[in-house]
Amino acid sequence: MAAACTIAIDDLPDGLIVADRYGRVLAVNRAAARLTGVRMERAVGCHMNDVFPFRDHDGRDWWKALDPEGGLRSRVRVPERPLHLPGGQELYVTARLVREPERGGEVERVAITLRDGGARARLERSRADLVSTVAHELRSPLTSVKGFTATLLAKWSRFTEEQKLVMLETVNNDADRVTRLITELLDVSRIESGRLEVRRQVVDLPARARRIIAGRVAAGEPEDRFRLVVHDDLPETWLDQDKVDQILSNLVENALRHGRGTVTMEIESVGWGVAVSVRDEGEGIEPELAPRVFRQFWRGGNSRRRGGTGLGLFIVKGLVEAHGGTIVVQRAPEGGAEFRFTVPTGTPDFATSA
């Protein structure tokens, strides 16, 4: 039989305050001290309201409302709710009433757990941004699809074949835009939930880069706008080919949208893998903005007028890291932005475990 394991309260990731039923603080862990700014030495032995005067949004005294000595004797759990300290800091607080005996006994102590309200608020803002972005990005193409479709159905015979073709091409392009957005949202969901699957095979990175460039040229970009530099003696790479195409495509699209002049792709061997750089000749990214580039909905500068959902670079980072790689952004030699990602090399077994 395994030996019992004792866990110190300082090992807990959440803040923990233990008080008796009268409100006298018995213990405070490190996380709670960090969240509240109240040291254990100052809190222990004092009343809750003297050191942790939690209030709800209406200013009511949380400990008084908790009333550990009153209420039903079957009550053992207190639902989590947002509370404030006098300085305005928001924390999510829940509690457990420990009774002796466990069923129907008197409250012996109260275990209170704390979580940072700021992190929860940021998550909620991120979700609100996601909903807003989706609504905004879907409204325009769906309005176009609905408008042109309704017009064609109502007045088909009044339009020339050329006019019909233009309308149907617009509908087709807008439907593709909606599909791309849905695909991006699914990728974001898989990345955030850790459900992104990597199906590895031998991938020829230079060949994939040439394919992406050829696709952009076929779509109307001048061929001389692209420059591909491939160094000799590249090692074998085991990667997910579809995801590599997505990484390269997103980086090239980002360079075309935000940059000017030539877009350069360079592929070379490094110590533990292969590095791919995508450089443009645009305005570049200020060093202080670099940490924000791979966040959701980051568009930077005047890019809102240039289109895009602000999800592409977030997805790129997630796909690179799913391969065990890394990605950074820095200033390119020509003055624009340089995105450089590195993926590991090795045998299939090594690559799978990377």
Cα Dmax for the chain: 87
* Spatial distance between the Cα atoms of 339 and 353, rounded to a whole number of angstroms: 25
Q: Looking at residue 43, what is its pLDDT? A: 95
pLDDT tens for residues 196-215? 888 999 999 999 999 999 99
User: How crowded is residue 186: how many other Cβ atoms within 10 Å of its Cβ?
Assistant: 10
Hey, which residues does 277 pair with through a beta bridge? 266, 340
Alpha helices in the chain (DSSP H): 30-36, 40-43, 48-51, 62-66, 117-155, 161-193, 205-218, 241-258, 312-322, 348-353
* Separation in Å, CA 44 to CA 38, 89, 270: 10, 21, 55
Q: Please name the residue that has the structure tokens 């475990």.
A: 353
* Cis amide linkage into residue 82, ω under 30° from 0: no
* Type of residue at 326: T
Does the global pTM surpass 0.75?
Answer: no
Tens-digit pLDDT string for the chain (354 aa): 444 555 688 888 899 999 999 999 999 999 999 999 999 999 999 999 999 999 998 899 999 999 998 888 888 999 999 999 988 788 999 999 999 988 889 999 999 999 987 777 777 777 777 777 677 778 888 998 999 999 999 999 999 999 999 999 999 988 988 888 888 888 888 887 788 888 999 999 999 999 999 999 998 899 999 999 999 889 999 999 999 999 999 999 989 988 778 999 999 999 889 999 999 988 888 888 888 888 876 766 544 444 566 788 989 999 999 999 999 999 888 788 999 999 998 766 544 444
DSSP 127-168: HHHHHHHHHHHHHHHHHHHHHHHHHHHHHGGGS-HHHHHHHH
Residue-level pLDDT at 235: 92
Q: Which residues contact 44 (CB under 8 A, 6 or more apart)?
A: 25, 26, 27, 28
Structure-derived torsion over alpha carbons of residues 49, 53, 56, 61, reported in degrees to the nearest 10: 20
Concatenate the DSSP letters of all residues of 64-101 into one string: HHH-TTSS-TT--EEEEEEEE-TT--EEEEEEEEEEES
Q: Tokens 């997630």 belong to which residue?
A: 318
pLDDT at position 182 is 85
Q: Cα–Cα–Cα angle for 306, 308, 313, nearest 5°?
A: 120
Question: CB of 188 within 8 A of CB of 296?
Answer: yes
Query: Which pLDDT score, from 0 to 100, does residue 308 have?
Result: 61
